[in-house]
Structure 1
Amino acid sequence: MTPAPSVPTIAGGAIAGGAGAVYSELVLGSLTPRDLGLLTHPGPSLMSIVADSLGGRRQGVPPPWVAAVRRSAGRRAPGVLGPLFAPGTVAVPDCLTLSTDMGRIPIDEQLGGLRELPPDMLLEQLHADSGGLPPPGWRPVLAAPRRFLTAYADVLDSAWCAVAPVWRQAGELLDREAARVERCGADLTLVLAGTHTRLRARPGRIGLPDPNPETFDRAGRPVALLPLVSGYGASVFSVDRPDEVWLGYPVPGVRQLFGAPPPPTRHTALDLVLGEVRADVLRRADGVSTGRVAARVGCAVSTLTYHCDHLVAAGLLSRSREGRAVVLRRTERGESLLGLLDVPD
């Protein structure tokens, strides 16, 4: 895992990303519906919340969740987690990230398995990930790996006790997201256009926030989508697994769980696929300036720009300057999507 200043990305055991981050690129090639699946498991969400609450990696986790995790985990937790988030840490072993066999092993069993993890496995992965030279922050772990594993399992177990009720409350959001992804078919740019993610989607390629940028090839591997019940800016990816690629993003509507009122009832399939705000932007982008669209949608121009960036990346919207105004227009693809999905369910 690779550390970064803000939003974490769990990538092959790495935590990276954040505002202003540089980007790695994942070359997708052509995708079919059989290549794309949804994986709902609380492990990545828990790691993301822990990174924010106890590791100092701000990801938009709401303060009440942060406070609950800190109370549950206790004062010792930041010291236990120090090696994972210390400056200079380049990699965190996969065996510590709750990312193994997520589709088959419940999180309670995974947390229990941390206590039984062979210390030699942890040490082997530490040396392999660091080229044989683990960062200084990992020295206490090298000296007493069994003690560390026990303390680490205690921290994650306590954190899970604090956030498990939130995960259960998210069931409806996760079910809704499964339906939305199914409607999107194999169009990954469309899937991500309907989320508040830091992953940058464009046809055939995905930008991944990463302080050590590289280019990766999907090479025919299936893609697992991980909707995260965490902060509104969290992102997770794993591109070095031999069996599949993981791409995680905040589950649409996660702010409902922060105590905000639920959003209005969705009226059409377009709202389900893109989210209400972006669906409304696409409806109104018929040669109108950004200022007028922002006023009609009811958001600031800066917020509108954020949503437009995703719609442009998905090939649904175009922008052009006409005099002093920036004018929004649906592309041919946007028109087709509007005609297909903007009808009452």
Structure 2
Amino acid sequence: MARDNLSIVLAERPTTDIIPGQTFTQKTSPAPTPADLQDGQILVETLYLSLDPAMRGWLRDMRSYLPPVQIGQTMRGSCACRVLASKSKQAKEGDIVSALTGWTEFAILPEGRFEPASLYPGLQDPKDMLSALGMTSLTAWVGMSKIADPKPGELVVVSGAAGATGSVAGQIAKLKGARVVGIAGGDDKCKWLTEELGFDVALNYKADDFKEKFAEATKDYIDVYYDNVGGDILDMCLMRAKEHARFIECGLVSQYNAAKPQGPRAFSQIVTMRIRMQGFIVLDHVKDFPTARAELAQWIAEGKLKKTETVVRGGLKVAEQALVDLYKGINTGKLIVEIKNHNETPSKL
């Protein structure tokens, strides 16, 4: 008897918040089988799905670094997968690979559309492909190590500091010898940043005295700002920037669900303080991935870089609500949906 393949597809484009049961819909179709494989292809089952703030941007029908997800198309997403059958020399049955399979339980992938485990040095768990050695950590490495390049003693501020990218970016800045101030949404997250990750200061932006504490923490002014949120906090950092500060624009999570996103109000500071503000997309730095992964893996092995994940269980059906919750800040570290635990018996198709 043929097995079903559950996929989550885009039903309508949200204008503000994603609405569970309305933005996406479930689609069931016959699962692919080994008989469907052509030379150079692999058949995989999804084990873990990465949820990322950038996903909201993929739903907008506008020009960007990737084409928008189309109505009726399977939602885009990076996954850690297990190979169920193979006609490729790059992966064999039972191997773990990473791929942009999207929100689906089973998929057939050609060579060039997946990365074998051999590209992930020090891989301890399939989830590492999405977190510690995945795109979010690579984004942190590129933005902080390559673009910001903090020097010992410099003041680095990281917003969204308890998230997947921010938490790694801040740790990298500490490894470079910088003084690091993290901004996060909640006292528990701030405690985690200072006590577990080694941030010098962590500030709860929801606290009544946040502005006063932020001014105190940046009394010597900001050399590097790693921006994951945009909005009011970006403006605050612009007002506290040192001359020739470097602002690294990684994300604007506070604006992703806004019908009319807020631009910087303190824009004149870029001129008067001669700030270098640079946006970047990690996909432009693929040639640096081997170096980045090797360094990240070494730091993890030496205990210098800590990885943290929030794993939501319940399979593909819970992914939509988990994505909604991502923008509410439920996660500490990387947010991952477990589709199927890697210790479970492989599916038979």
Query: TM-score, normalized by length of structure 2?
Result: 0.26
The answer to which structure, 1 or 2, has the higher relative contact order (CA under 8 A, 6+ apart) is: 1
TM-score relative to the length of structure 1: 0.27
Q: Greater helix share, 1 or 2?
A: 1
The structure richer in strand per residue is: 2
